[in-house]
């Protein structure tokens, strides 16, 4: 049977141009635009689909508009009839073709047959003969059972990046499959030849068998023309980049914010889970140091960091000092003056390395009864102190407590009474204990830089809540380490 090529069918681009502006990952506010196909690939049709005229395509387009050119990737399933294997939410439009009759277009990121073929391309490490597309498998993904069109799929949690996430449960998995039995397919809607540094870091940790991150299981790459680099129509400049990434399903398990908030609402302790979380964060930092190295601060770096810490602390204090009563203000002024002096006298260099930098309870997930895994959405910071992540995690707990304390109880009084200050104190102390018990070098959290960062962030949180605070100020100063 002759193959349909979507881009050759009259009206194909018109239907896409009607559908694209309504997609959250499409460049917004660009006005009138034109589509030009610059690359892509075609997938073999998997067995088991009832549609005998099913064709699967990945298209890479240049979106040309008044302000410039954007690149997008659009996976498409072309079907001869409506299909439950795709679903109504994936429907793009319908064509009437002279040779094949009606053709129904579906978003391949949600179409089961497309997902099956895509996963198999990575799992089996398939590629095109011309080298312009390839699938890669990492870890034990190549030994997984084959994916079929009977897989189950749900839309993944939306993120800020222009990707489409689909959570896939293989056919052989149980109905209530555990997170480790699922995979997450991330279709990269704005492909580039450059990989995000944070993703490259996770890929390295995956290959180092780190158990603290959501692993990369596979990658599918493809090629497209870069017309800006082409000499003429006969000498095409080709570029290649990732079109989709396949991850394990561990981040589909509950995140730290949800679990901690539930515990707080039910007046239940969270200390043991926080201890495991701190240990997991420390092991993540140890894995990063082992994979990318670490080195002590130079004298100039230490002085510069101490000076920045002094300025940040002073700015935060000046912004909120009037919101404290006279006695509290006097006590805090004395603490800050002492801390300022200690920062000026700091001589012990700390270890710099690659870290995430802005981790919070939203970035950590608990896939089972033990341990936590982190997702890299917070980005990577090079040549930074690991204590930065410890501070942002502890302040994430503090922000959660403030939010929970401000909520109005329901009419049935379901909200249980809780001592918020004690809950935070026990939780944060357990988190730090867990971090110390990990494989990481933890001297950073004994330093004045850590205490200064904690106090500056606490004062900032105090200001954001208009001077309302459920703790005694001393409970967040960390002045005793």
CA–CA distance, 463 with 402 (Å, rounded to integer): 12
Q: Phi and psi (nearest 5°) for 196?
A: -65, 140
CATH code for position 334: 3.90.1200.10
Q: Which is more confident, 313 or 96?
A: 313
222 and 181, same structural domain?
Answer: yes
Nearest to 224 by CA among 7, 67, 41, 65: 41
Cα–Cα distance, 303 to 39 (Å, whole number): 51
Question: What is the pLDDT confidence band of residue 479, given thresholds at 50, 70 and 90?
Answer: very low
The closest alpha carbon to 199, from 232, 229, 159, belongs to 159
Question: Tens digit of pLDDT for each residue in 81-91?
Answer: 887 766 677 89
pLDDT tier, 7 (very low <50, low <70, confident <90, very high otherwise): confident
Number of domains the chain is built from: 2
Q: Which of 202, 228, 252 is the last residue of a domain?
A: 252
The residue out of 233, 252, 271 marking a domain boundary is: 252
Is 125 part of a structural domain of the chain?
yes
What integer pLDDT is reported at residue 477 of this predicted model?
Answer: 45
What kind and span of H or E run contains 184? strand 183-188
Specify whether 78 is located in the same domain as 132.
Answer: yes
pLDDT score at 99: 74
Rounded CA-CA distance 87/166 in Å is: 13
Q: Is residue 290 part of a domain?
A: yes
Statement to judge: residues 342 and 233 lie in one domain: no
248 and 297, same domain (yes or no): no
Residues 6+ apart with CB under 8 A from 169: 151, 152, 153, 177, 181, 182
pLDDT at 478 over 80: no
245 plus 284 within the same structural domain: no
333-348 mean pLDDT:
92
Residues 69 and 120 in one domain: yes
Read off the tokens for 134. 């390839």
> Are residue 348 and residue 368 in the same domain, yes or no?
yes
Does residue 199 sit in the same domain as residue 227?
yes
Judgement on whether residues 118 and 232 belong to the same structural domain of the protein: yes
354 shares its domain with 375: yes
pLDDT at 480: 41
Could you tell me the pLDDT band of residue 414, with boundaries at 50, 70 and 90?
Answer: low
Residue of 401, 448, 393, 425 whose CA lies nearest to 281: 393
Q: Which of 94-103, 235-244, 400-409, 463-472 has the lowest mean pLDDT?
A: 463-472
Burial class (CB in 10 A: 0-12, 13-18, 19+), 342: middle
Q: Structure tokens of 195?
A: 């990989």
* Residue in 295, 337, 323 with CA at minimum distance from that of residue 452: 337
Strands (E), 303-456: 351-355, 364-365, 373-374, 381-384
In this predicted model, what pLDDT tens digit does every residue of 44-70 receive, in sequence order? 999 988 888 899 999 999 999 888 889
Claim to verify: residue 188 and residue 82 sit in the same structural domain: yes
pLDDT digits (tens, 9 = 90+) for 355-393: 998 999 999 999 887 789 999 887 789 999 999 999 999
Residue 1 located in a structural domain = no
**Which comes out higher in pLDDT, residue 17 or 472?**
17
pLDDT in tens, 257-306: 999 999 998 999 999 999 999 999 999 999 999 999 999 999 999 999 99
- 416 inside domain: yes
**230 in the same domain as 88:** yes
What percent of the chain stands above pLDDT 70? 92
The last residue of one of the domains, among 220, 252, 284, is: 252
Domain range enclosing 412: 256-477
């Amino acid at each position: 049977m002759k193959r349909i090529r979507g881009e050759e069918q009259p009206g194909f681009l018109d239907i896409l141009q009607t559908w694209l502006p309504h997609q959250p990952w499409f460049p917004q506010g660009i006005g009138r635009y034109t589509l030009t196909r610059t690359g892509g690939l075609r997938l073999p049709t998997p067995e088991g689909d009832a549609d005998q005229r099913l064709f699967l395509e990945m298209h890479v387009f240049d979106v040309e508009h008044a302000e410039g050119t954007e690149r997008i990737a659009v996976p498409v399933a072309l079907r001869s009839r409506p299909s439950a294997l795709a679903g109504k939410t994936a429907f793009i439009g319908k064509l009437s073709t002279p040779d094949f009759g009606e053709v129904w277009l579906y978003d391949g990121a949600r179409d089961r047959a497309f997902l099956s073929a895509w996963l198999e391309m990575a799992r089996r490490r398939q590629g095109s003969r011309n080298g312009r597309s390839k699938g890669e498998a990492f870890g034990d993904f190549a030994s997984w059972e084959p994916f079929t069109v009977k897989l189950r799929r749900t839309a993944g949690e939306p993120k800020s990046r222009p990707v489409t996430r689909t959570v896939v449960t293989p056919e052989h998995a149980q109905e209530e499959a555990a997170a480790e039995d699922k995979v997450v397919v991330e279709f990269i809607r704005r492909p580039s030849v450059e990989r995000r540094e944070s993703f490259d870091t996770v890929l390295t940790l995956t290959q180092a068998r780190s158990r603290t991150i959501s692993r990369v299981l596979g990658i599918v790459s493809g090629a497209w023309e870069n017309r800006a680099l082409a000499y003429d129509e006969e000498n095409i400049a080709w570029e290649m980049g990732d079109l989709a990434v396949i991850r394990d399903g561990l981040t589909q398990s509950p995140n730290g914010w949800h679990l901690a908030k539930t515990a707080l609402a039910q007046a239940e302790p969270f200390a043991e889970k926080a201890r495991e979380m701190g240990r997991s964060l420390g092991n993540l930092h140890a894995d990063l140091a082992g994979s990318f190295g670490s080195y002590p601060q130079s004298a100039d770096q230490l002085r510069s960091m101490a000076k920045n810490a002094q300025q940040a602390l002073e700015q935060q204090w000046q912004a909120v000092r009037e919101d404290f009563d006279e006695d509290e203000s006097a006590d805090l002024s004395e603490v800050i003056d002492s801390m300022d002096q200690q920062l000026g006298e700091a001589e012990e260099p700390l270890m710099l390395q690659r870290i995430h930098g802005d981790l919070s309870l939203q970035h950590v997930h608990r896939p089972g009864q033990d341990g936590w895994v982190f997702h890299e959405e917070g980005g990577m910071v090079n040549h930074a102190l690991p204590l930065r992540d410890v501070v942002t995690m502890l302040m994430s707990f503090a922000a959660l407590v403030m939010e929970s304390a401000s909520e109005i109880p329901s009419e049935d009084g379901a909200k249980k009474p809780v001592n918020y200050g004690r809950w935070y104190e026990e939780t944060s102390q357990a988190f730090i204990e867990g971090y110390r018990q990990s494989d990481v070098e933890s001297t950073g959290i004994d330093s004045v830089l850590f205490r200064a960062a904690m106090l500056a962030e606490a004062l900032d949180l105090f200001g954001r809540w208009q001077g309302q605070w459920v703790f005694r100020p001393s409970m967040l100063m960390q002045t005793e380490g």
